Amino acid sequence: MTLNIIKSGAFTTIQDLGRSGWQASGVPVGGTMDKTAARLVNILLGNDENEAVLEMTLIGPTIQFNGSAVIAIFGANMSPKINGQAIKSRRPIQVHKGDIITFGTASLGVRTYLAVKGGFSIPDILGSKSTNAMANMGRPLKTGDIIPINYSYSVKNFSWGMSFKLENYLHDQQTPFHFIRGRQYDLFTAESQQAFIESDFKVTSNSDRMGYRLTGPNLCTEQKVELITEGTTFGSIQVPPNGEPIILMADRQPTGGYPKIGEVISCDLPRLSQLRPGEPIRFQEISLKEAQRLIIAEERELKEMKAVCLLKWRDIQNEKSRFEL
């Protein structure tokens, strides 16, 4: 059972939740940019949340299946179709041998995720299937690539899925991105601190999976400082000497020496990862306690959805077993 890549799209890669535990050796974590969308497509299929998925960027691929499988799609709207017929995201979808799925240009957001029930049968590198071309760990998919799937799966049509409200963050262009103060926040001038929270920034075209470069008011420290290189994380907001902030993203380097004015909270990273060049960013400070409250609430909601989906798949499996008997 395989997927055949007929057209690769603009930038399609295989990703999971990242290559954890290797930053001390200089290996980036990497993984999916929008971790919420990637987790949701696996939750829908009853997969482990860390199962690898296809991450499609801006323009999606064309894919042909050579057997039966169940898939799920979530993220930016790329107008997916099976054999020319529009299909919906946020729900399991049965595909059959010979079916062709096409994705267009994202009309909202940037990244879309596709998972298959059972996952892809590809080897791990340092415990992860994630592609990181800069670190020479895999490459973007090309036309003609063939991706093995662990097993075929065929059931009746599905009549259930997740709420459309889960896509709200893709539409939200008004809510500021919340941050907690970075380790070097107090080194910045009072004027820069004020400009950081009162001004609009924009994502530049010189942005990628390593970092989002922002344009806006220049930020500067009270005096020139030389810092010891220290660890970074997804969402660290570094300010290089030119005063233009950089938000470190999934493929960030493990360490950095630029002062960090803030850290985007993890709950806002999925929305951040769906921004296009030219779109505005405004920041708002919150406390660490509030950031923790938000992530606990988000994880509780995902846990509840996972429990419901697992019950649905248990019922499907029981029905299949009765039919086979």
Which pLDDT score is estimated for 227?
85
Q: Which parts of the chain have pLDDT scores under 70?
A: 320-325
Which pLDDT score is estimated for 323?
57
Fold classification of 172-286 (topology level): Cyclophilin (2.40.100)
Which pLDDT score is estimated for 317?
82
Which pLDDT score is estimated for 130?
96
Looking at the DSSP bridge assignments, the partners of residue 69 are 95
Which pLDDT score is estimated for 324?
54
Instruction: Give 304-324 pLDDT, tens digit per residue.
Output: 999 999 999 998 888 766 655
Which pLDDT score is estimated for 166?
86
14: left (phi over 0), alpha (psi -120 to 50) or beta: beta
Tell me the C-alpha distance between 56 and 114, whole Å: 8
Buried b (16+ CB within 10 A) or exposed e, 192-231: bbebbeeeebebeeebebbbbbbbbbebbbeeeeeeeeee
Q: Where are the domains of the chain?
A: 2-163, 172-286
Which pLDDT score is estimated for 223?
86
Which pLDDT score is estimated for 320?
67
